Structure 1
Amino acid sequence: MNLLRTLRRPDWIDELHGLLLLGTVLTGAGGVAAVIATLAGQPIEVEVATETALRPDALTGAPAGVVLGDSLVLDVTDPTAAQLGWALLATLPRFVLITATLALLWRAIGRARRTDPFRSGLAASLRSLGILLIGGGLFAWVAEVVARFGLSATVDVGGTYTTLDLTVPAVWLFLGITLLAVGEIVRRGQEMRADLDGVV
């Protein structure tokens, strides 16, 4: 009977805790692998403006209505030290932020799983994570934009170029506010729990 009850009602907190650990390990390993590949001389992709890099008639043989896009991706097969630095700046902050967020969330969920969630520091941990996602997400996005801009300047093809995708900071902001809101819910639950304990 206990086995059937366990099968019907899985421990979702425990499942989440395991998935967060897996995500932390995979993201951290992916970041390390990306750094090693970059430093080992893997070709670096550089995005430049098509209109300044190519002549308007550069695309030949294409069907009617098919034109070049706004940007063109170049592969730098022999990157300089400056290009390696820009490439690392474009990717490393994002990997660090995601790995740190998953690790901190894994620790907070693990502490709440072992003890009473309304007596642990879960609310404070969620607030800290929310602030980290908002501030760190904005920093990682700005760092990537600046790095892509600087990287395009190193190839001497059509000047500087970068893509300004405002959905990226919007996603970080949404995730951060979500964690702040969940942390506030937990905090209010802690206050209610304390009031009930005082009445009893």
Structure 2
Amino acid sequence: MAKTPMKRPAAFQHDRTVGEETWLTPRSLVEALDLPTLADVDPCSPPVRPWPTARQHFTRNDDGFNRAWDPKKFYFVNPPYGRECAGWMAKAAEHGNGLLLVFARTDTRQFHESVWRHEHTSAVLFFEGRLRFATIDGVEIGSAGAPSALVAYGTKAKRALIQAVSKGRIRGRIVLLDDAQRDVFRLGVESGRASKKERPSAD
């Protein structure tokens, strides 16, 4: 009888949940940002965690997504990937005060809407190399299936990224987004639309 091949761990696809598995924000990243001190709230925390990522944690059972988000509080958002991710990205962007950890899918509509185009985005950090996520026991399993990015919303988040990179606690590159850069992006979009209107017809 042929043996059923063993499946490799699913940590290479998601950082939150895959089936019954839970994948956590790497401890090295938590320490580099000093998240327990920096962040007031983690609204999408796993029910079991070997290290804190904020002063207050809300799990799926607490429905952190639909709770009222306090604009005065700093949120660290490492959302479940898949269909839910877009909603969390939009929520974090509208809140405008915190950090969002997601795959660096820079070509997607949601990344453009919640990151590049959003007025609250102050900076984006692209990691050098891929993050290694951990199980609920704190054991690192393997590299993520795609590069990751940390999106800063607001001044406090931008300063936290700059400080972590400048002190060598995180290796990567930061793209700072100010009003002028967002204007350039909007002009590019408008120019593209204008070009389409000005194109001669095929007739």
Q: TM (normalized to structure 2)?
A: 0.28
Larger relative contact order (CA 8 Å, sep ≥ 6) = 1
Q: TM (normalized to structure 1)?
A: 0.28
Q: Which has the higher strand share?
A: 2
Structure number, greater radius of gyration: 1
Q: Which has the higher helix share?
A: 1
